[in-house]
Amino acid sequence: MAEALIYGKIAQAMKMIGAIGKDAVATDKNGKMQYKFRGIDAVYNALNPVMSEIGLFICPEIIEQVREERTTQSGGMLKYSILTIRYTLYATDGSSVSCTVVGEGMDSGDKSSNKAMSVALKYAMFQLFMIPTEEMIDPDAEVHTDVLPKGKKPEAPKAQTKTPAAPAKAQAAPANAPSAQVSVAQKLPDAPINPVLDYLAKERENLRAARGISKEDNAALWAKQVEVLKGAGLIPNKALSTYTKQEAEHMVQFMYSKFKPEGTELIPDDGQAS
């Protein structure tokens, strides 16, 4: 019995497909750059010549479809689609490999399913062929230090006592005296940094610079827009410290694309990039 070709073909494609970076640029109505993203066209352009050369093709099959309608803050209507899709890759001998993914899309017109299919295919190909990107974030690099077990409430902060002030001028120790011991506080390691919160802090400053407003006004606007996005179901309704890097990136993209400058009402759009 001949060995199935599909496994070798996929391995061959992995060697031939190059990195797909965030080369596409989303702009506002004035042509100003808002953010960069990896578009579905970049996936097609990278995979088509490789798959046609080595003899691979793919067939999609929608397993399940869920559609909802959501109302924006301004009273508009958005159609929201969730598609579960099975993609099957075939080699020329008929052997195949399948993978099932979920895609989500939102649109004010009739393109929510199209967007969901594009997102599903893009990430299916990224994961199946392990396509390298310019920003590969290892999930193990994310540290969540403020998450408590289910049902456990945070403890109330303990009252801090003031540390007596040090003498104005310390007396010099004798030359033969033992060296002073390092305090326990000095030996403690620095608190772990949450990479997602660090990323959001930098993006919030980028937004402030783009808007040309004060830090105080920008912080208030940022907080309001976060609540609006949560209320519209565009981002998870949870603490930002528990967001994944991908969830944080989506939130920042919505900050640029879903609001007018210094606005707090969502604006519908006809296109979606990720």
Q: What is the pLDDT of residues 73-113, one digit of tens each?
A: 777 888 999 999 999 999 999 999 999 999 999 888 889 99
Checking DSSP bridges between strand 56-71 and strand 77-91, what pairing results, if any? antiparallel
Pairwise CA distance, residues 222 & 201, whole Å: 11
Pairwise CA distance, residues 193 & 259, whole Å: 30
Query: Hey, which of 85-94, 212-221, 225-234 has the most confident mean pLDDT?
Result: 85-94
The CATH number of whichever domain residue 43 belongs to comes to 3.30.390.80
Q: Which of 116, 88, 112 has its CA nearest to residue 102?
A: 116
Task: Work out the mean pLDDT of the chain and round it to a whole number.
Answer: 79
Q: Which residue has the higher pLDDT, 180 or 115?
A: 115
How far apart, in Å, are the Cα atoms of 158 and each of 21, 154, 163, 183, 191? Answer: 48, 12, 15, 22, 19
Does residue 198 sit in the same domain as residue 270?
Answer: yes
Q: What is the pLDDT of residues 10-42, one digit of tens each?
A: 999 999 998 887 766 656 656 666 666 778 888
Tell me if 22 is assigned to some domain: yes
Does residue 128 sit in the same domain as residue 196?
Answer: no
Pairwise CA distance, residues 15 & 130, whole Å: 10
**pLDDT score of 252 more than 50:** yes
Tell me if 254 is assigned to some domain: yes
How many helices (DSSP H) and strands (DSSP E) are in the chain? 7, 5
pLDDT of residue 44: 92
Residue 198 domain boundaries: 137-143+192-274
Tell me if 246 is assigned to some domain: yes
**pLDDT score of 185 more than 60:** no
Tell me if 215 is assigned to some domain: yes
Tell me if 153 is assigned to some domain: no
pTM for the model stands at 0.47
Tell me if 225 is assigned to some domain: yes
